[in-house]
Amino acid sequence: MLVLKRRKGQEIVIESPVAGMAAGFPGGAIRIRVVQTSDGSCSLAFDAPETHRIRRAELPAVPQPQPAQQVCAVSCASRGVSELLQVQG
């Protein structure tokens, strides 16, 4: 999965040589514009040729990765100090 950060009004353009240039007609690109953002959600506007058949759908939220330090702190807390030194050393 590719995750791109964009601000309101910015656009992402995906060129499609199969539907566009190879078929001999312009406008084969899919254009995605960020139209609204709020805390935890985002609205996108899609513009694509009919050949792509994009339908209205809700995109699932992308889970935020947890920092590695939290994972280490949890797993290290259950070990003894001597075992922890052996693992790190």
Please, what sign has the CA dihedral across residues 20, 25, 26, 27? Answer: negative
Task: Tell whether 87 is covered by a domain.
Answer: no
pTM of the model: 0.41
- Asked if residue 44 lies in contact with residue 33, where contact means CB atoms within 8 angstroms, the answer is yes
Domain count, the chain: 1
Q: By residue range, what is the domain housing residue 51? A: 1-57
pLDDT at 80: 44
Query: The tokens of 42 are what?
Result: 């985002």
Side chain identity at 3, as an amino acid letter? V
Q: What is the pLDDT of residue 77?
A: 44
Q: What is the pLDDT of residues 4-59, one digit of tens each?
A: 777 888 888 877 665 445 444 455 677 888 888 787 777 878 777 766 666 555 54
Residue 79 within any structural domain of the chain = no
